[in-house]
């Protein structure tokens, strides 16, 4: 019974930490390795905004031990509607692990229509494939 209580407590704390991780920041990312089912720490990620015909750099971060960047949007800028691009530097990540990959980087372009919402971009990654979706 004690083990069950500890498991429930751990799951609750994990859920709470996920909620507070991006509290106050409108954008977070999470990278999971599909080969081993583990988070992908050390992935460089950039954020850009589409302005006119160009992409304007806004921020850069590196995933933590849980494969997350909880606050990717710059704190002193206003989050507004528009098109944004998150670029996951997967080639660097796999090279540091001594692995090859078909995708040296993975750009994910998304549109913000409601700047009052939180946007979460998960990336499910393997050396020769990936999947992404709008998370919560």
**In the chain, where are the structural domains located?**
24-132
**Summary mean pLDDT of the chain:** 87
**Has residue 81 got a pLDDT over 60?**
yes
**Residue numbers belonging to the annotated binding site:** 30, 68, 133
Name the fold adopted by 24-132: Immunoglobulin-like (2.60.40)
Measured distance CA(107)–CA(26) in Å, rounded: 19
Which pLDDT band holds residue 6 (cuts at 50, 70, 90)?
Answer: very low
Measured distance CA(93)–CA(99) in Å, rounded: 9
The SS3 of residue 16 is helix
**Residue numbers belonging to the annotated binding site for substrate:** 30, 68, 133
pTM of the model: 0.82
Give me the pLDDT at residue 76, please: 87
Tokens representing 42 are 């050390």
pLDDT digits 0-9 by tens, 25-59:
999 999 999 999 999 999 999 999 999 999 999 99
Measured distance CA(79)–CA(34) in Å, rounded: 31
């Amino acid at each position: 019974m004690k083990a069950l209580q500890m498991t429930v407590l751990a799951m609750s704390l994990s859920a709470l930490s996920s909620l507070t991780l991006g509290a106050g920041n409108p954008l977070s990312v999470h990278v999971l390795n599909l080969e081993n089912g583990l988070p992908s720490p050390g992935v460089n990620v950039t954020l850009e905004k589409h302005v006119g015909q160009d992409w304007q750099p806004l921020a850069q971060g590196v995933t933590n031990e849980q494969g997350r960047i909880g606050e990717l949007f710059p704190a002193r800028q206003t989050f507004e509607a528009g098109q944004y691009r998150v670029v996951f530097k997967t080639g660097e990540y796999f090279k540091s692990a001594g692995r090859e990959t078909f995708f040296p980087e993975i750009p994910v372009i998304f549109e913000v229509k409601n700047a009052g919402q939180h946007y979460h971009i998960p990336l499910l990654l393997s050396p020769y494939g990936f999947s992404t979706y709008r998370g919560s």
